Amino acid sequence: MSRFHLPDDELTWRFSRSSGPGGQHVNTSDTRVELSWNLSATSALTDEERQRVATALRSRLRDGVLTVASSAYRSQHRNRESARVRLEELVAAALVPARPRRATRASRASRKRRREREQRRSALKRERHTDWS
């Protein structure tokens, strides 16, 4: 699968101090990377593709902006690469249309198992009930 490429001018980068390995170095350098991409204002996608991505990634979008953070590495450069790859893979995966569900029927055996399970449950409840008359 070829990776989807986002235009550089549509990406917004933010840097902050990262936790994790690095000793005293992490206290002084901004190695954590946040990469944001405005889906609603992009020119890289058609309207149909934009709608498909918005639907697939609706839980990750904030006001039409998709954000990915990376602090896995000690260097800002590697975190930048990591964040960009993750963002592009997210968008590429969202662009793939969902395969339509093929209608199927429950098998005879599964219907029989369901019926037996319901009858066992019914019998158990019937045994709990006492007739006081």
Ordered structural domains, the chain, with CATH: 1-133 (3.30.160.20)
Listed in sequence order, the residues at least 6 apart from 68 whose beta carbon sits closer than 8 Å to its beta carbon are 34, 35, 83, 86, 87, 90
Q: Helix, strand, or coil here: 114?
A: helix
Q: Percent of the chain at pLDDT above 90? A: 37
User: What is the rounded average pLDDT of the residues 75-81?
Assistant: 89
Per-residue confidence band for 105, with pLDDT thresholds at 50, 70 and 90: very high
Convert the pLDDT of each residue in 15-60 to its tens digit: 887 776 666 666 667 778 899 999 888 888 888 888 888 888 889 8
Is the predicted pLDDT of residue 6 greater than 90, yes or no?
A: no
Whole-number mean pLDDT of the chain? Answer: 86
Residue with tokens 């019914």: 122
Q: Percent of the chain at pLDDT above 70? A: 90
Cα distances from 103 to residues 8, 60, 106, 122, in angstroms, run 43, 30, 10, 31
Enter the pTM of the model: 0.67
Angle (nearest 5°) at CA 93 between 87 and 99: 165
Convert the pLDDT of each residue in 85-98 to its tens digit: 999 999 999 998 88
* Beta strand residue intervals within 1-133, DSSP E: 11-16, 32-38, 61-62, 65-70
Q: What's CA 120's distance to the chain center, in Å?
A: 40
